[in-house]
Structure 1
Amino acid sequence: MASEHDQRQRDDQPLLDPTAIRGLVAELGLRPTKQRGQNFVTDANTVRRIVGLAEVTPDDVVVEVGPGLGSLTLGLLHRARRVIAIEIDPLLAGALPATVARLAPARAEALTVITADALRVDELPEPPTKVVANLPYNVSVPVLLHLLATFDSWQHGLVMVQAEVADRLVAGPGSKTYGIPSLKLAWYASSRRVGSVAPSVFWPVPNVDSGLVALARRPPVETTANRAAVFAVIDTAFAQRRKMLRSALAGLVGSSAAASVVLEDAGIDPQVRGEQLEIADFARIAEALARVDRSGDSAGH
């Protein structure tokens, strides 16, 4: 556990500013790509705000996805015991340790860089306790769900995503933005919007605002259905968003009449739409579908 004096020293350590960012970009000959969602934070106060909202402590092992030039990485290293940074771009991954060694030499050994696609990482050198990241816009939801599914040791997190995605992640039943991301995240965790971030703090400047979403893992839904089965029902229910569930799920059981029977068995009104249901409701539908499958198997023998 770090002393208060050690913590103050860490908090006083330098972070990247626009001048330092420009220097790194020139040094690396970097050309950010939209394909990899590369927008780098240039404002130190935004970094401090994110680290503060994430409540990073000296006991935390933090996973950061898409560290880029190291803006947030430095802020996290000033607080966390260890930062595991996953970076898909070999150029950026190779430069990050040197940046940390120059600006935070006392914390250089606390950084581990993994050069990989975060969606393919299924092993880490140490179980993480938090995820704090400026997630690439184009893969933010898949990456977040992968980290939740693959590493169950982390209980809290804070992610910066496109504002529209933030709204979808935290939406509740009945809202216009409620849908697949909201429900799949709800399988693992509760979420809340804790702030907004203006485009001006990034380079290159994106044409959208960003949102900060805080996550807290919660006990899994009590169900006999597995996650894949529940997620399959969710995907089917929202494939044609405005349809009543009995019509949306007809393809799973052969007809809307058969779907109505399944829904009634699950205690769900066949005329409701998917955006009106919670994650536990979809779990009950998956259970009812499994009962249909089992009875069909029994009849076939």
Structure 2
Amino acid sequence: MSEEQLLGAAQVRELAARLGVRPTKQWGQNFVIDANTVRRIVRLADVGPGDVVAEVGPGLGSLTLALLPRVHRVVAIEVDPVLADALPETVAERVPELADRLVVLRADALTVRSLPDPQPTALVANLPYNVAVPVVLGLLAHLPTIEKVLVMVQLEVAERLAARPGSKVYGVPSVKAAWYADVRLAGTVGRNVFWPAPNVDSGLVSMVRRPPPAVDLDGEVVGAVDRAAVFACVDAAFAQRRKTLRAALAGWAGSAAHAEQVLRAAGVDPGTRGERLGIREFARIAAAKAALS
């Protein structure tokens, strides 16, 4: 796509002025004004002609315009009614030959439970900082056809999502993201590629979906465990993350003694802390609780 078809700083500000749009903190709006950044996102997303991309928060269309030439369709989910109405016009103006590849859904991504056919194969987005984690986890949960993800989020959030057990920033988002996918930090982005410039740098998170962990208890393959049961265990373990699992899981298990019994059945030391465990261990703990109940 040529430089003239993408949105640079001047075009973003001009378009915003024409629409009477002022970026709002309420919707976490920071518009990308650097063409090289959107090209980089599309390249790292590894999407092609067979992909249907869900894009959350397309804003004025910077990333949308870079995605359209590469993929079969972009389903843009936009909560701001002014931006949602303007996006098809921007695309028709700048790349009229690609206008039929765009579908705009005026909705809050936190409430999306389904999308029109054909179903999305990828999620690629510059996500609002304030809802990034619940949006990613929610769409992975409700849209099982999404196989790959490349999102730009606040750097601290990116590091949390990609963290490994034992890391200082490892926590609930890290474990829950690992339930769905292999997650890695794919790069960092400076604050000056946005208008308005945020007070923090951003990170690019890459996710490749894989099946939930199968569970093995005492040499017997239990198979998949209920996600809600595993996530309840994770939430309990990190609600009091400085406590041992025996203490942290007491309420979840019914008592500290029962928590210890469950942990031992799962092959987990009751004296360890949740921040040392990966998603497979949490799945084993949830399976052991179900087996002992």
The TM-score, its normalising length taken from structure 2, stands at: 0.94
CA root-mean-square deviation: 1.2
Question: How many angstroms apart in 1 are the aligned matches of 2:100 and 2:254?
Answer: 58
Matches within 5 A, 1:221-260: 221-222=213-214, 223-260=223-260
Does 2:168 correspond to 1:189? no
Question: How many angstroms apart in 1 are the aligned matches of 2:249 and 2:46?
Answer: 42
Question: How many angstroms apart in 2 are the aligned matches of 1:219 and 1:204?
Answer: 39
Q: What amino acid maps onto 2:90 in structure 1?
A: T
Q: Which runs of 4+ in 1 moved over 3 A?
A: 10-13
Which secondary structure does the structure 2 equivalent of 1:211 belong to? strand
Q: What amino acid maps onto 2:254 in structure 1?
A: G
Q: What amino acid maps onto 1:220 in structure 2?
A: P
Which secondary structure does the structure 1 equivalent of 2:77 belong to? strand
Quote how far apart the aligned CAs of 1:78 are. Answer: 1.8
Q: Which residue of 2 aligns with 1:289?
A: 289
> Deviations 1:53-106 (Å, cap 9, x if unpaired)?
112212211110000000000000121111000001111101100000001111
Instruction: Tell me, yes or no, if the aligned pair for 1:11 and 1:79 is still in contact at 8 Å.
Output: no
> Deviations 1:38-57 (Å, cap 9, x if unpaired)?
00000001011111111221
Instruction: Tell me, yes or no, if the aligned pair for 1:11 and 1:78 is still in contact at 8 Å.
Output: no
Question: How many angstroms apart in 2 are the aligned matches of 1:27 and 1:13?
Answer: 18
Which secondary structure does the structure 2 equivalent of 1:190 belong to? strand
Question: How many angstroms apart in 2 are the aligned matches of 1:263 and 1:191?
Answer: 26
Q: Which residue of 2 aligns with 1:39?
A: 30
Q: Which residue of 1 aligns with 2:165?
A: 173
Question: How many angstroms apart in 2 are the aligned matches of 1:284 and 1:261?
Answer: 13
Quote how far apart the aligned CAs of 1:242 are. Answer: 0.8
Quote how far apart the aligned CAs of 1:225 are. Answer: 2.5
1:104 corresponds to which of 80, 86, 95: 95
Q: Which residue of 2 aligns with 1:91?
A: 82
Question: How many angstroms apart in 1 are the aligned matches of 2:231 and 2:52?
Answer: 29
Question: How many angstroms apart in 2 are the aligned matches of 1:158 and 1:146?
Answer: 15
Does 2:16 correspond to 1:30? no
Which secondary structure does the structure 1 equivalent of 2:120 belong to? coil
Quote how far apart the aligned CAs of 1:224 are. Answer: 4.5
Residue segments in structure 1 that go unaligned for 5+ positions in a row: 1-9, 294-301
Q: Which residue of 2 aligns with 1:159?
A: 151
Matches within 5 A, 1:104-143: 104-125=95-116, 126-143=118-135
Residue segments in structure 2 that go unaligned for 5+ positions in a row: 215-222
Which secondary structure does the structure 2 equivalent of 1:38 belong to? coil
Question: How many angstroms apart in 2 are the aligned matches of 1:290 and 1:209?
Answer: 43
Which secondary structure does the structure 2 equivalent of 1:205 belong to? coil
Does 2:198 correspond to 1:215? no
Quote how far apart the aligned CAs of 1:11 are. Answer: 5.7
Does 2:65 correspond to 1:65? no
> Deviations 1:158-207 (Å, cap 9, x if unpaired)?
11010000000111110101110010000010011111111100011100
Which secondary structure does the structure 2 equivalent of 1:34 belong to? coil
> Deviations 1:229-277 (Å, cap 9, x if unpaired)?
0000000000011110000001123322221111111111000000100
Q: What amino acid maps onto 2:244 in structure 1?
A: M
Instruction: Tell me, yes or no, if the aligned pair for 1:13 and 1:78 is still in contact at 8 Å.
Output: no
Which secondary structure does the structure 2 equivalent of 1:238 belong to? helix
Question: How many angstroms apart in 1 are the aligned matches of 2:143 and 2:192?
Answer: 33
Q: Which residue of 2 aligns with 1:7?
A: none
Q: Which residue of 2 aligns with 1:297?
A: none
Instruction: Tell me, yes or no, if the aligned pair for 1:180 and 1:234 is still in contact at 8 Å.
Output: yes
Instruction: Tell me, yes or no, if the aligned pair for 1:15 and 1:71 is still in contact at 8 Å.
Output: yes
- Counting aligned pairs with the same residue, the percent is 62
Question: How many angstroms apart in 1 are the aligned matches of 2:2 and 2:178?
Answer: 34
Instruction: Tell me, yes or no, if the aligned pair for 2:187 and 2:204 is still in contact at 8 Å.
Output: yes
The TM-score, its normalising length taken from structure 1, stands at: 0.92
Quote how far apart the aligned CAs of 1:13 are. Answer: 6.2
Does 2:197 correspond to 1:205? yes
Question: How many angstroms apart in 1 are the aligned matches of 2:233 and 2:253?
Answer: 11
Question: How many angstroms apart in 2 are the aligned matches of 1:33 and 1:292?
Answer: 50
User: Which stretch shows the higher mean deviation, 278-287 or 226-235?
Assistant: 278-287
